[in-house]
Structure 1
Amino acid sequence: MASGSGAPGGHHGRVTSAALLGRDQLPTAGRLVVKVGSSSLTTPDGHLDPERLRAVVDVLAARRAAGTQVVLVSSGAIAAGIGPLGLAARPRDLATQQAAASVGQGLLVAHYTRAFGAHGLRVAQVLLTAEDTWRRGQYRNAHRALTRLLDLGVVPIINENDAVATDEIRFGDNDRLAALVSHLVHADALALLTDVDALYTGAPSRPGSRRVAEVRGPADVAGVDVSARGSAVGTGGMVTKLDSVAIATQSGIPVVLTSAALAGRALAGDDVGTWFAATGRRSSIRLLWLAHAARTHGRLVLDDGAVRAVLERGTSLLPAGVTAVEGTFEAGDPVELVDGAGAVVARGLVAYASDEVPQLLGRSTGELRAALGAGYDRELVHRDDLVLVRRGR
């Protein structure tokens, strides 16, 4: 975790290991990422509701006053722009979505500035796109900027940069973004605030559906029906919530999912909402970026021996074990490593451009050194630049 005692917004001896954090320890968390959806901040007709926004801020300000650093990932820019633009509903076309986001983002941040300011807290607007999570340099810059803001006692307000995004404006991006930000800032836990109070075994309105209080692994959600869509104002649903939960928990960060109305009780450690225990260990920021945020540019097809070497022995990928190359990429780009049937085995940063790879395929490093000279006898993907992916994912 960043910032020691004495730094503005420091942890002051609070919990700093998400691997040991349980629901009852949530009040002692040193750093929280909280994601709030559009439907929790707006009226049914799409207008931003200052009272609902202030209610969320009051809860987060109380946690901040107790010594917890808070990062807020907030949807709502497009929804906030619906009313001022005179639109009847959330626009479907990209250009109007971008226009609504441009108008709404300023309104959204102005309300947050006033609401947090009433508690003596400063905020900072941070707009990210998907590109900021798959380009290594931008990912590192975001990490440094957010860490410094927290050290200075500021509450970062993060949203996707919808005004300039293209295909990134899609179903559930801010849920996924919140999970990535949680790892980015080394959060102790992630809170997802939505318009339902918990994960249920079926639609909450369906007779017989019951709340799932705690999830410790995939078996605990087997048979749970999460097919119902989200609200008309937001874009997310329970499917995308569970996808973001998986990103966070598999990298060592527990998650609490509940409604904005129950946020205070949830962050106090009460038995409300659904608690998702961490199932994995923290990996490096670079490997998480590669596993979950990187957009791949091509594929390397591995023979059976190379698949076993990568999966079972954790070796680097050598040219001798590759049978084909697909796509166009440059050296250093992320690519998928697939088996002969096309199932993804791993992701990695390739050491050669796609037009260089065909002449290397199936040849040992010794043969490459003899035929092409020094520099062509290195790995296609070094094991330090490789992350395993479950088959069928």
Structure 2
Amino acid sequence: MTAAALGSRTELAAAARIVVKVGSSSLTSANGRLDPDRLRALVDVLAARRADGGQVVLVSSGAIAAAIGPLGLNARPRDLATQQAAASVGQGLLVAHYTKAFADHGLRVGQVLLTADDTVRRGHYRNAHRALTRLLDLGVIPVINENDAVATEEIRFGDNDRLAALVSHLVHADALVLLTDVDALYTGPPSRPGARRISHVGSPRELDGIDVSSRGSAIGTGGMVTKLESVAIATQSGIPVVLTSAAQAADALAGRDVGTWFAATGRRTSIRLLWLAHAARAHGRLVLDEGAVRAVVERRTSLLPAGVVGVEGEFEAGDPIELVGPDGVVVGRGLVAYSSDEVPNLLGRSTGALREELGPGYDRALVHRDDLVLVRRRRPAP
């Protein structure tokens, strides 16, 4: 069964391949230490799914939280160096628990640590796809986490929710299941009187007016905002999502009416375009005039030099960049055909004039439409 075939949550029970993401708060006790009983309860659910013939990819947070107790820390460290040290200690503890718990069901696990560079660089992306696919073919359950021990603020995903959405596309999953410390998306903070569970979301417009500002737990790093961002990545690329609590994981995988079901809203796109839209780190910006914005957004044309009025940042030909309108609003991302040193001499000029003055090869688009993805318009930060 493909992702496009999953039209409702009841079909989730028959999905051939799912990605399950579990947050730190679902694996730890109130004092922040890893709770083996909670971890084992989740493993029991996933092992049952494997016994039914389904493939499972597990994206698990919890490495830093697992080290809080053994390192004698009072809480999750705030500085990057201590986070990296805690991740180095905690990742081994976390995987050891998973290895033992799955082995009790006759299953093997394989640890996979990723950084943002593994999706920013297309060669790394292909390598990760090949490795994960082979693990699944061998009957192994991949246990994926961000490589916090080496990741820096500049290259990290920021939260495993986004990583899980990208992994879902990378492994061609039929669905993504996000397990968190709340049992569903609500019309407001769950603690607020009158807040109601939202069972089904058919499109992003249905979320207008929903208050998702409340913070996640003190143990984890993400809140509902990051989860909805990951939902958008998955659903817009053809992968439905279920968001619920770890306690309801078995019911969710069985297709029962728990949590919130987010229907797929787009078609599965190429890995390259998904990488460009959601994972690539922009190296600079091209500022478009209004005519170029309309051409790129409404007519889906390539970006020509004549419609560009400014360039920001330093980049080489082939680097990912952002396309912004005159108001500073990002309208797209693309792979630029020229370096930032070359672009200023091309701005505002027709391809014909450039070919005549500079020769063949300078009449090509700044960003070809095949290397360009549109993004939802968002206002620049104040």
TM-score by length of 2: 0.96
Unaligned runs of 5+ in 1: 1-14
Tell me what 1:79 maps to.
65
**Of residues 121, 131, 138 in structure 2, which corresponds to 1:152?**
138
Which of these residues, 318, 324, 330, is aligned with residue 344 of structure 1?
330
* Separation of aligned partners in 2, 1:62 and 1:226: 33
Matched ranges for 1:136-151 at <5 A: 136-151=122-137
Q: Is the 8 A contact 2:3 2:239 kept in 1?
A: no
Counterpart check, 1:246 vs 2:232: yes
Structure 1 residue 171: deviation in Å?
Answer: 8.9
Structure 2 equivalent of residue 369 of structure 1: 355
- Per the alignment, residue 9 of structure 2 pairs with 23
**1:389 CA displacement:** 1.4
Shift of 1:64: 1.1
- The corresponding residue for 1:298 is 284
How far apart are residue 172 of structure 1 and its match? 5.3
Q: Which residue of 1 aligns with 2:46?
A: 60
Any idea what SS the aligned residue of 1:390 has? strand
**Structure 1 pair 262/282, CA: closer, same or farther in 2 (3 Å)?**
same
Q: CA deviation at 1:19?
A: 4.7
Name the residue aligned to 1:268: 254
Q: Which moved more, 1:245-254 or 1:71-80?
A: 245-254
The CA deviation string for residues 199-236 of structure 1, in whole angstroms up to 9 with x for no partner, is 11122222211111111123432332222111111111
Contact 2:77-2:83 at 8 Å conserved across structures: yes
TM-score (norm 1): 0.93
Counterpart in the other structure of 2:275: 289
Equivalent in 15, 28, 32 of residue 42 of structure 1:
28
4+ long deviations beyond 6 Å: none
> What do residues 30-52 of structure 1 show as CA deviations (whole Å, max 9, x unaligned)?
11000000011111111111111
Give 1:194's match in structure 2, choosing from 180, 200, 220.
180
* Structure-1 separation of matches of 2:300 and 2:312: 23
Residue 319, structure 1, aligned to residue 319, structure 2: no
Partner deviation per Cα, 1:32-89 (whole Å, 9 max, x = no partner): 0000000111111111111111110110111111111110000000000111101111
1-structure distance, mates of 2:316, 2:157: 30
Matched position secondary structure for 2:194: coil
Following the alignment from structure 2 to structure 1, what is the Cα–Cα distance between the partners of residues 256 and 85?
40
* AA in 1 matched with 2:94: L
CA RMSD of aligned residues (A): 1.5
Any unmatched runs of 5+ in structure 2?
none
Segment of structure 1 superposing worse, 124-133 or 75-84: 124-133
Query: Which amino acid letter does the alignment assign opposite residue 331 of structure 2?
Result: V
Partner in structure 2 of residue 3 of structure 1: none
Q: Are the equivalent residues in 2 in contact too, given 1:113–1:123 (CA < 8 A)? A: yes
Partner of 1:330: 316
Look up the match of 1:226. 212
Whether the 8 Å CA contact 1:19–1:253 is kept in 2: the answer is no
Instruction: Give the superposition deviation at 1:256.
Output: 0.5
Q: Which residue number corresponds to residue 12 of structure 1?
A: none
Closer, same or farther: CA 53–236 of 1 in aligned 2, 3 Å? same
Q: Residue 58 of structure 2 contacts residue 143 of structure 2 at CA under 8 Å; is this kept in 1? A: yes
Listed one character per residue, the Cα deviations across residues 239-289 of structure 1 (whole Å, up to 9, x for unaligned) are 111111111111111110111011001100011111111111111111111
Superposition deviation, residue 304 in structure 1: 2.3
* 2:164 maps to 1:174: no
